Structure 1
Amino acid sequence: MAAARTQAFRAAFAALRAGGLNRGLRARAQGLGVILTLHHVRPWRARDFAPNRLLEIEPAFLDQALAGARKLGFDFVSLDEAWRRTLTGVSYRPFLHVTFDDGYRDVRDHALPILERHGAPATLFVASRFAEQDADIWWLELEEAIARSRRIYMDLGRGEAVLPTATARQKQAAWNAVYWRLRSGSEEHLRAEVRRLGRAAGVDPLSFARELCMDWNELKEVARHPLIAIGAHTVTHPMLAKHPDDVARAEMADSREAIRRKLGLEAAHFAYPVGDRSAAGPRDYALAAELGFTTAVTTRPGHIHRSHAATPTALPRVSLNGHFQTAAALDALLAGTPFLLMRMLKRGRA
Structure 2
Amino acid sequence: MKRAVQTIVRGAHLALLRKPLPDRICLYGHSLAGRLAALDAFLSRFSDMGYRFVGPDPFFEQSGRMILLSFDDNYRSWYDALPVFERRGAVATFYVNTLPFRDTASADELTWFFTRISAEVEPTLSTDDLRSMAACGQVIGAHTHTHPLLSAVPHEEAKREIAQSKEILEDVLGTGIAHFAYPFGMRRHFTKALQDDCFELGFRTVATGIPCQHFGPLQPGLIHRTCWDLDAPFERNLENIAIDGRLYERLTGYNPTAGGY
Same fold, TM exceeding 0.5? yes
Matched, 1:301 2:204: no
Residues 194-230 of structure 1 show CA distances to partners (whole Å, capped at 9, x for unaligned) of: xxxxxxxxxxxxxx4xx5211212212222112x121
Q: 2:71 corresponds to which letter in structure 1?
A: F
Task: Specify the alignment match of 1:139 in structure 2.
Answer: 115
Once residues 38 and 86 of structure 2 are traced to their aligned partners in structure 1, the CA distance between those partners, rounded to angstroms, is: 15
Matched, 1:233 2:147: no
Q: 1:68 corresponds to which letter in structure 2?
A: R
Q: Of the candidates 92, 95, 99, which is equivalent to residue 70 of structure 2?
A: 99
Contact 2:213 / 2:246 at 8 angstroms: preserved in 1? no
Q: CA deviation at 1:289?
A: 1.7
Q: Of the candidates 26, 33, 38, which is equivalent to residue 61 of structure 1?
A: 38
Q: 1:84 corresponds to which letter in structure 2?
A: E
Distance 1:330 1:106, change over 3 A: same
Write out aligned runs for 1:52-91 (5 A).
58-85=35-62, 91=63
SS of equivalent to 1:98 = strand
Distance 1:140 1:345, change over 3 A: closer
Contact 1:97 / 1:120 at 8 angstroms: preserved in 2? no
Task: Specify the alignment match of 1:319 in structure 2.
Answer: 227
Once residues 229 and 47 of structure 2 are traced to their aligned partners in structure 1, the CA distance between those partners, rounded to angstroms, is: 19
Write out aligned runs for 1:266-277 (5 A).
266-277=176-187
Contact 1:272 / 1:297 at 8 angstroms: preserved in 2? yes
The percentage of aligned residue pairs carrying the same residue is 28
Matched, 1:116 2:92: no
Structure with bigger gyration radius? 1
Residues 79-107 of structure 1 show CA distances to partners (whole Å, capped at 9, x for unaligned) of: 2101224xxxxx2x221122111120011
Q: Of the candidates 120, 133, 145, which is equivalent to residue 222 of structure 1?
A: 133
Once residues 216 and 239 of structure 2 are traced to their aligned partners in structure 1, the CA distance between those partners, rounded to angstroms, is: 20
Q: 1:81 corresponds to which letter in structure 2?
A: P
Distance 1:40 1:285, change over 3 A: same
Write out aligned runs for 1:169-184 (5 A).
none
Contact 2:53 / 2:92 at 8 angstroms: preserved in 1? no
Task: Specify the alignment match of 2:24 in structure 1.
Answer: 33
Once residues 38 and 348 of structure 1 are traced to their aligned partners in structure 2, the CA distance between those partners, rounded to angstroms, is: 24
Q: 2:30 corresponds to which letter in structure 1?
A: H
Q: CA deviation at 1:232?
A: 0.8
Q: CA deviation at 1:346?
A: 7.0
Once residues 254 and 143 of structure 1 are traced to their aligned partners in structure 2, the CA distance between those partners, rounded to angstroms, is: 23
Matched, 1:332 2:239: yes
Task: Specify the alignment match of 2:259 in structure 1.
Answer: none
Task: Specify the alignment match of 2:200 in structure 1.
Answer: 290
Task: Specify the alignment match of 1:249 in structure 2.
Answer: 159
Residues 105-131 of structure 1 show CA distances to partners (whole Å, capped at 9, x for unaligned) of: 01111x322212211101111111112
Once residues 104 and 139 of structure 1 are traced to their aligned partners in structure 2, the CA distance between those partners, rounded to angstroms, is: 14
Q: CA deviation at 1:12?
A: 3.8
Cα RMSD, aligned residues only: 3.1
Q: 1:337 corresponds to which letter in structure 2?
A: A
Q: CA deviation at 1:235?
A: 1.0
Write out aligned runs for 1:170-209 (5 A).
208=121
Distance 1:294 1:304, change over 3 A: farther
Contact 1:33 / 1:303 at 8 angstroms: preserved in 2? no
Once residues 142 and 119 of structure 1 are traced to their aligned partners in structure 2, the CA distance between those partners, rounded to angstroms, is: 32
TM-score (norm 2): 0.81
Q: 1:239 corresponds to which letter in structure 2?
A: L
Once residues 249 and 11 of structure 1 are traced to their aligned partners in structure 2, the CA distance between those partners, rounded to angstroms, is: 36
**Structure 1: unaligned runs, 5 residues or longer:** 44-57, 86-90, 145-207
Q: CA deviation at 1:78?
A: 2.0
Residues 157-177 of structure 1 show CA distances to partners (whole Å, capped at 9, x for unaligned) of: xxxxxxxxxxxxxxxxxxxxx
